Structure 1
């Protein structure tokens, strides 16, 4: 060591150690936040599956209530008929329609390349179609398909999610009071009456949403099957079933379901494609703006812009499951805000 060099003082050494400790504390906090965010995201997907199980359970109980009102049979018997009868009805439908649907799916898969090439040829004949093809032919198409793959991804995979959801639904159906009472016990004693009120209101709202969705899906399936069959559109049954299932996704589902039907009609003629598009639009308008509002009287009124924002946010966070459950989740949140905040503010004012 040269004479000009000085030993670091004790205070300088202490400051250096303090700085290093602060850096490591900061790194630890950031790492902890990342872990918490990842856990929260996974937990959120699990909560969505719980909500899906609750919705199926609500359906079973609603069906059981209907049977009990009509027959006056014991509750346990009605619930057994509700659960067993639902699976029997699904089995019978797949038995009678499964072969035809599978054949039409095979036809649709085989003819898809020819359909796409024919649709591109028809679209290239119009200026608007050329612009659409230019947009889809560059890097935007890769980005679009990547977004679609991400959008339709789920945390455990589709089959795994369905497996968990069905088991949750069965557990919630067999012992609903066990879980309801467990939630209420977590609430302070003076707030339990309010908790009962909130849970009952949420139950009524979810029943209204389920009733409207099921009837809307059936009506869309029937009307489109008839309309597309009249127009001699191939695989009309599959297209109608696809549209009915996508009715679970408000706004975006209707637009997405319309694409394959119009593309198939475009292979026949441009006029046929226009008529088929009108069939889709008229069907969706009748169901969405006439039938659904009549059924959803007991459901909370959701602003359309807020519904779309909720779907986009939920789709980004949890894929297709989030989009499907965006509306009931938004309804639950609005009920909680109304009961726990808005009504208290109104009382104070």
Structure 2
């Protein structure tokens, strides 16, 4: 005889989560994801500033190495001369050229609105020009000016952080082994040789980019300053400096730099505008396709389409600073991919199948 004894103990069923609890849980997850993405974007911007500091340190070290080879002085003295001499030279140039630059900036600011109106009047005289003016309707022009304002405000924000980047570069220059050894401490012992090789390749690549960029900036500035002065374009020095500074941005910089020069030339005559446009195109072609590749031979050859894609991505993420650092950052990504993935794949393909089966 079996007796059913019910002691009142029954297995507890899990409580069902209410609808409101599910809503609050989903909202908390969404807020957490947004917070993580915002923090990641801020951290990414800080890492970009650190990369800019590394580029400045690479420049100081390259100039210090050159002084050490040429003079035979101690390395610390050469590095001190490299840092102090570079900053002093920049301040001296700005001091002597500051008055003229200020006058030409004021002249350009005052003449540019009238120049735009003159260009509109001349474009309105031709059917093609009327179509161009129709494209730049109120909505399109407003969107264009908003984009330009956002770009330049981001640029000036990046310039506002220039002193932080400069100090980072000086710190990296003073004690490079401290930071290099600190990075190597985070790498497993069996991968330290690979890490050293990656850092050496990145150093060579960045040096090539810096050499090519500095030479391109100097040559473009000099060529355009002389050419625009000969043609008789006003504020030639400012236009040349703008083109030189924008040269650090591949693809976009050259096109943007040409706009104010051609607009001012149109106030003189159409033939003058064509001559100025040809001057910009020829100078950019000579520097970009002949001189810069010779200097940047230590840098990885990057396809133009890949460069453009990286610039668009970096512009969306970090604005002007991201566009400037897109090429060296892409070069670093390619080096990491080659060392950590491509070489492994190639090495595995060289191993016979009989060895893999063992």
TM-score (norm 2): 0.91
Rounded to whole Å, the distance in 1 between the matches of 2:126 and 2:66 is 54
Map of 2:4 onto structure 1: none
Contact 2:155 2:320 in 1 (8 A): no
Query: Aligned pair 1:120/2:124, yes or no?
Result: no
Query: Post-superposition shift, 1:24?
Result: 2.6
- Could you say which structure has the larger radius of gyration? 2
Query: Post-superposition shift, 1:14?
Result: 3.1
Query: Post-superposition shift, 1:296?
Result: 1.1
Rounded to whole Å, the distance in 1 between the matches of 2:14 and 2:195 is 58
Compared with structure 1, are the counterparts of its residues 223 and 160 closer, same or farther at alpha carbon in structure 2 (3 Å cutoff)? closer
For each residue in 1:175-209, what CA deviation from the matched residue of structure 2 results, as whole angstroms up to 9, or x when unmatched?
11111111111000100111000001000000000
Query: Post-superposition shift, 1:34?
Result: 0.4
Rounded to whole Å, the distance in 2 between the matches of 1:275 and 1:296 is 30
Rounded to whole Å, the distance in 2 between the matches of 1:23 and 1:342 is 46
Contact 1:153 1:319 in 2 (8 A): no
Q: Note the 1:79-90 alignment, pairs <5 A.
A: 79-90=79-90
For each residue in 1:250-285, what CA deviation from the matched residue of structure 2 results, as whole angstroms up to 9, or x when unmatched?
000000000000000000000000010000000000
Query: Post-superposition shift, 1:127?
Result: 2.7
Q: Note the 1:284-303 alignment, pairs <5 A.
A: 284-303=284-303
Query: Post-superposition shift, 1:19?
Result: 4.3
Query: Aligned pair 1:14/2:21, yes or no?
Result: no
Root mean square deviation of aligned Cα:
1.8
Compared with structure 1, are the counterparts of its residues 233 and 196 closer, same or farther at alpha carbon in structure 2 (3 Å cutoff)? same
Map of 1:213 onto structure 2: 213
Query: Aligned pair 1:202/2:194, yes or no?
Result: no
Rounded to whole Å, the distance in 1 between the matches of 2:323 and 2:83 is 26
Map of 1:223 onto structure 2: 223
Q: Note the 1:15-94 alignment, pairs <5 A.
A: 15=16, 17-94=17-94
Query: Post-superposition shift, 1:222?
Result: 0.8
Task: Note the residue ranges of structure 2 that are not aligned, 5 or more in a row.
Answer: 1-11, 350-358
Matched residue count? 339
Map of 1:344 onto structure 2: 344
For each residue in 1:66-108, what CA deviation from the matched residue of structure 2 results, as whole angstroms up to 9, or x when unmatched?
1001011100000000001101111221122221111111111
Map of 1:8 onto structure 2: none
Rounded to whole Å, the distance in 2 between the matches of 1:148 and 1:136 is 14
Query: Aligned pair 1:259/2:259, yes or no?
Result: yes
Rounded to whole Å, the distance in 2 between the matches of 1:281 and 1:90 is 28
